Chains A and B, each alone.
Chain A
Amino acid sequence: MSKSPILEIKNLHATAGGKEILRGINLTVFPGEVHAIMGPNGSGKSTLAQVIAGRDLYAVTKGEVLYLGKDLLGLQPEERAQEGLFLAFQYPVEIPGVSNLYFLKAALNAIRKRKGESELDAMDFLSLVRQKMALMEMDEALLNRAVNAGFSGGEKKRNEIFQMAVLEPHLALLDETDSGLDIDALKIVAHGVNTLRSPDRAIVLITHYQRLLNYIVPDFVHVLAEGRIVRSGDKSLALALEESGYVGIEELAETAQ
């Protein structure tokens, strides 16, 4: 039985402040797959993630994005999230005064509501959360602290994957989740992500370095330069890139034009 894609990006163009950043992205992601998107700084990696999540700092000028076969760009950011799209932020945001637990419960119940499911009661929610915390080797004390407030860089990144574990998305975009992590934290995060790999879930890793890909082995690797995917391949492409660096990639983008 052939599967239908979770995500189809077709000739996507997007601008920020009048400047074109994405210049014709094409990408198709099927359930069960892990894609890595690599590229030099300023190539549009994070912009791509933000556009898919619906950040209104960016304007889509051309192209379309289908999510589970339906138009994604017409949905509000919260609707996208409720439909199972998750973005692990490169810079997780602090929300003082709002406890992690309360925040996560509101998020989970918003998603359940969209699915027509009843809200999870406090006991069931807590046992779910405890189980997922163990996966991320997180201290339970973090639950009652304000969202990301005063968290270390590593704690913030772990908290993102912990949230992903609780919310169980169809499609997870991980924006430089590896940046700022020491090797131990990286292993924990990678373990968490690997545990969440499943036949009906897709993961898109955005990363600058191939290091993460030693721990989360992707099915596909794409190289982004100047707003376009200039090379696609399997994990060996990431290794080759590490050898040669991003030098020459921009030229590739020019010739692809």
Chain B
Amino acid sequence: MATQLTSIETLANQEYKWGFVTDIDADTIPAGLNEDVIRLISNRKNEPQFMLDWRLKAYRQWLKMKEPTWANVHYPAIDYQQIIYYSAPKANKDGPKSLDEVDPQLLATYEKLGIPLRERELLAGVAVDAVFDSVSVATTFKEKLSGLGIIFCSFSEAVQEHPELIQQYLGTVVPHSDNFFAALNAAVFTDGSFCYIPKGVRCPMELSTYFRINAKNTGQFERTLIIADEGAHVSYLEGCTAPMRDTNQLHAAVVELIALDNATIKYSTVQNWYPGDKEGKGGIYNFVTKRGKCLGANSKISWTQVETGSAITWKYPGCLLIGDNSVGEFYSVALTNNYQQADTGTKMIHVGKNTRSTIVSKGISAGHGQNTYRGAVKILKGATGARNYSQCDSMLLGDKCGAHTFPYLEVKNTSSSVEHEASTSKIGEDQIFYCRQRGISTEDAVGMIVNGFCKEVFRELPMEFAVEAQKLLGVSLEGSVG
């Protein structure tokens, strides 16, 4: 029995595979935050006045705000004056005109991560807007997409090329004052992705961004804005890895999605940032605000996330269901191993009539991991005929980890229905032994059981992502089972 447990633990003790630091001259400013830093960021990025005004407004708001403490996570206080708020890979003044101009070492980093940047991009059929530190270095497939009127570029570029769209939509889903981390992001974000799908266009490929944190002590503040105009469809993939490091790194991203009439946005994330070592040292603090607004009638926003990385995850991708008959979905797998902590879930706010939402959350805890599901379903008075279904399942591996569920339900009319189901299970030694007696190794048995547990979520992922997610779960759990 004892050996069985230890082997569950050894499985989880696999070293982080993507731990390496790229040695590139970063154009870095000193640590600390004040209005001058914000002006400097805005200036370096050659932003129009409305951007600077918005950043400063956010900063002044942020100064009045307090870091939230309600989440079920614990970490030492963050000194926001110790963070470096701007760092860009050094390049020619005007930026690289082609991949040939990109720092070869940077390309090598992408190689290691298996990011399809060169010819591989064609084979993979994926357009990549790669974020390295704070500035996008390469954006691909742009011509093909622009033929359809699709805009897919870095946020900075969108600010230069399409300021009217930025001005119209920025902060309309996650306002500059939304929460402490969102306000900080609004003040200091340096880049991210922008995507606009015009009326009636179905984006022919999965759009993908790979994020990667690099450069020591650089807080990473990305901002993503995706707009699907009437009748448009888009599927967006976000995947992350980060190099191994000792000090904790703050990551406070914001993602805003807007779906107009009959539009659909599918947003999938595989998050694999450095989780810290076996003793809980290091790792990324992932404090993210993600929200989608189903503004139009019959619009749909679907979030799918596989969260295996980060020391701390604080993340609640939600949907504002404003348009009548609009649909919000949230499918989540969150895994915590060693000393990882996750407090994640969703918010579904039903405003329009006959709006529907589905929540499927699968939490897996191993080692000393703590996994919390926190979800809010709010059905407003006008949301007649609204329906919600929530399912929250937890799985425990070993006896030192924890699973917690906090569902909040608020229903303000009588014609709506809300369903909530929850379960907690454990991978038993009996199950492992049964598998082993059939010739299946402990590692494969755990992988099989955990993947079976998660399959309702995995089947929502695009094919190639689903395969990656399954592998990632396997790697993340290695050493967690006897």
Contacts and interface: CB of A to CB of B under 8 A. Distances in A.
A106 B444 contact: yes
Given A56-B3, A95-B431, A106-B448, A81 B437 contact: yes
B425 interface: yes
Nearest to A107: B438
B412 interface: no
A96 interface: yes
A194 interface: no
A107 to B, nearest CB: 4
Contact of A81 (B438, B444, B449): B438
A55 B439 contact: no
A56 B428 CA distance: 14
A103 B439 contact: no
A95 B4 contact: no
Nearest to A81: B439
A163 interface: yes
Contacts of A93: 428, 430-431, 433-434
Interface range, A side: 20 to 34
Given A56-B1, A97-B452, A97-B455, A92 B440 contact: no
A89 interface: yes
Contacts of B455: 97
B435 interface: yes
B90 interface: no
A40 interface: no
A205 to B, nearest CB: 17
A202 interface: no
Contact of B436 (A81, A89, A99, A146): A81
The dominant DSSP class at the B interface is helix
Given A96-B425, A97-B449, A103-B448, A114 B439 contact: yes
B452 A78 contact: no
A76 B453 contact: no
Contacts of B434: 89, 92-93, 95
Interface residues of B, number: 24
Contact of A110 (B4, B440, B442, B451): B440
Contacts of A96: 425, 452-453
Interface string B1-20: 10110000000000000000
Contacts of B414: none
A141 interface: no
Interface in B438-461: 438-442, 444, 448-449, 451-453, 455
B128 to A, nearest CB: 33
A123 interface: no
A103 B451 CA distance: 12
Interface in A51-96: 53-57, 76-78, 80-82, 86-87, 89, 92-96
A102 B440 CA distance: 12
In this complex, the member of B425, B438, B439 whose beta carbon has the largest number of chain A beta carbons within 10 angstroms is B439
A77 B433 contact: yes
Contacts of B439: 78, 81-82, 107, 110-111, 114, 167
Contacts of A95: 431, 434-435, 448-449, 452
Contacts of B444: 106, 110
Contacts of A57: 1
Contacts of B4: 56
A98 interface: yes
Contacts of B3: 56
Interface string B319-355: 0000000000000000000000000000000000000
Contacts, number: 80
A167 B449 contact: no
Nearest to A57: B1
Contacts of A76: 436
A68 to B, nearest CB: 16
A19 to B, nearest CB: 14
Nearest to A84: B439
Nearest to B428: A93
A56 B451 CA distance: 25
Contacts of B428: 93
A118 to B, nearest CB: 16
B453 A53 contact: no
A106 B437 contact: no
Interface string B60-104: 000000000000000000000000000000000000000000000
Nearest to B430: A93
B287 to A, nearest CB: 31
A79 B369 CA distance: 31
Contacts of B430: 93
Given A93-B431, A96-B425, A106-B444, A53 B437 contact: yes
A77 B440 CA distance: 9
Contacts of A81: 436-439
Contacts of B442: 78
Interface string A110-129: 11001000000000000000
A127 to B, nearest CB: 20
Nearest to B423: A96
Nearest to A78: B436
B435 to A, nearest CB: 7
B470 to A, nearest CB: 13
In this complex, the member of A97, A102, A103 whose beta carbon has the largest number of chain B beta carbons within 10 angstroms is A97
B273 to A, nearest CB: 27
A161 B44 CA distance: 71
Given A93-B431, A96-B425, A97-B455, A102 B448 contact: yes
Interface string B135-155: 000000000000000000000
A97 B451 CA distance: 8
Contacts of B441: 78, 110
Contacts of B453: 96-97
B135 to A, nearest CB: 43
A81 B433 CA distance: 11
Contacts of B438: 81, 103-104, 106-107, 110, 163, 167
18 contacts: A55-B433, A56-B3, A77-B437, A78-B442, A81-B437, A89-B434, A92-B434, A93-B430, A96-B452, A96-B453, A97-B449, A97-B452, A97-B453, A98-B449, A103-B448, A106-B438, A107-B438, A163-B438
The 8 closest A-B pairs by CB, nearest first: A97-B452, A110-B439, A107-B438, A81-B439, A93-B434, A77-B436, A98-B452, A78-B436
Given A86-B437, A110-B438, 19 more contacts: A53-B437, A56-B1, A56-B4, A78-B436, A78-B440, A87-B437, A92-B434, A93-B428, A93-B431, A95-B434, A95-B448, A95-B452, A96-B425, A97-B453, A103-B448, A104-B438, A106-B440, A146-B452, A163-B438
Interface of A: 53-57, 76-78, 80-82, 86-87, 89, 92-99, 102-104, 106-107, 110-111, 114, 146, 163, 167
